[in-house]
Structure 1
C-alpha cells in the first residue's frame, strides 16, 4: 500500500466516526426535547389536578366561569368536570407516550454509543496497524 491508500482509509474511518457521532447527537436532542415536553406536561397536569380538586369541592349550585380568550363564559359544573377530566386523561396519556419515547430513544442512544465506541476502537487499531506497516 502507498501513503495515499493509508490516507484514504483514515479519512473514510474519520467520516464514519463523525457520522456516528452526529447520530448520537441527534438522538440526544430528540430525548432532551421529549424530556422538556414531559416537564411541561407534568406542570399542566398538576394545574389540571388542582382545578379538578376545586371543582369537586364546590357545590352544585356554585357559579363556574370558563375563560375563553378575553371573555369569561358561564359553564355548568358537570360540563366543566367532564372537560377537566378529559383534559387530565389526555395529558396522562401524552405523558406516558413521551416517557416511552424517552425510554426508546435512550436505548437507541446506548446502542449508537456502543457502535461509536466500536468504530473508534477499530480506527485506533487501523491507525496503529498503518503506523507500524512498512512504507513503500
Structure 2
C-alpha cells in the first residue's frame, strides 16, 4: 500500500517535470520565431545578391545608413551581402541543431511524465482497492 507522503512526492515530481516540459516548449516556440526571421532575411539577401549580379561594373550602388543613402562600391556591396548570407545560413544551421536537441529533450520529458503518471495511477488504484 502506498503512503500518502510517497504519493505527494510523486505528484510534486510530476509538477516539476510538467513545468520543465512547458519551459522546453516555450524555447522551441522561440527557436521557431527566430528561425522564421532568419529565413525571411536570407531570402531577401539572396534576392539582393541576384539583383547585384545583374548590374554592370560601373553601376551606382547605394547603401541606406540611417536616413541617408551612401554611395558604395559594387564589389564591396557584393561582398557584404555574401557575408550576410553566409552568417544567416550558419545561424539557421545552429538553430536547427538547437531545435533538434530541444525536441529530443521534450520527447524524453514527455516519456518520463507519462511513466510518472502511470505510477501515480497504479498507486492510487492500489490504494482504492484496499
Structure 2 counterpart of 1:80: 77
5+ residue gaps in structure 1?
none
The CA distance in 2 between the partners of 1:59 and 1:88, in whole Å, is: 22
| Per-residue deviation, 1:126 | 1.0
The equivalent position to 2:57 in structure 1, one of 53, 56, 60, is 60
Q: Residue 74 of structure 1: SS of its match in structure 2?
A: strand
Q: TM-score, normalised by structure 1?
A: 0.91
Following superposition, the deviation at residue 13 of structure 1 comes to: 1.5
Aligned-residue offset at 1:130: 1.9
TM-score calculated relative to the size of structure 2: 0.95
Residue 47 in structure 1 maps to residue 81 in structure 2: no
**What is the alpha-carbon distance in structure 1 between the residues aligned to residue 100 and residue 6 of structure 2?**
36
How many angstroms apart in 1 are the aligned matches of 2:78 and 2:90? 18
* CA RMSD across the alignment: 1.3
Q: Mapping of 1:1-136 within 5 angstroms?
A: 6-133=3-130
Aligned length: 130
User: Distance in 2 between the 1:106 and 1:76 partners?
Assistant: 45
2:18 and 2:7 map into 1 onto residues whose CA distance is: 16
Question: 1:132, CA displacement in angstroms?
Answer: 2.3
Question: Higher Cα Rg: structure 1 or 2?
Answer: 1
* Residue 89 (structure 1) shift: 0.2
Q: Which runs of 5+ in 2 are unaligned?
A: none
Q: Deviations over 1:39-82 (max 9, x none)?
A: 00000001000100000110011000000111111000000000
- CA distance, structure 2, for counterparts of residue 131 and residue 48 of structure 1: 65
